């Protein structure tokens, strides 16, 4: 199922997914080993980030 996303800044529907990883990963507070890449959906027209999502939330339990 494809979900159409609309940019709140420019109303474009051209979006892509990217990721933060390495130093851009999310780390558990007070722990250096527990981390997860963070996925980002962004607008190809203006660059606005529509949402961020932790890929492996189970790593923080």
Q: What is the pLDDT of residues 10-59, one digit of tens each?
A: 999 999 999 987 777 767 776 667 788 899 999 999 999 999 999 989 98
What's the predicted TM-score (pTM) here?
0.75
With b for 16 or more beta-carbon neighbours within 10 A and e for fewer, the 10-23 pattern comes to: eeeeebeeeebeee
Say if 61 falls within a structural domain: no
Say if 10 falls within a structural domain: yes
Q: How many domains does the chain have?
A: 1
Say if 17 falls within a structural domain: yes
> pLDDT category, 1, cuts 50, 70, 90?
very low
Structural domain containing residue 14? 1-52
């Amino acid at each position: 199922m494809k979900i159409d996303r609309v940019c709140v800044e420019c109303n474009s529907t051209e979006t892509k997914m990217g990721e933060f990883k390495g130093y851009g990963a999310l780390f558990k507070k007070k722990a250096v080993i527990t981390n997860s890449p963070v996925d980002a959906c962004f607008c190809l027209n203006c660059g606005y980030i529509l949402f961020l999502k932790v890929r492996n939330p189970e790593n923080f339990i």
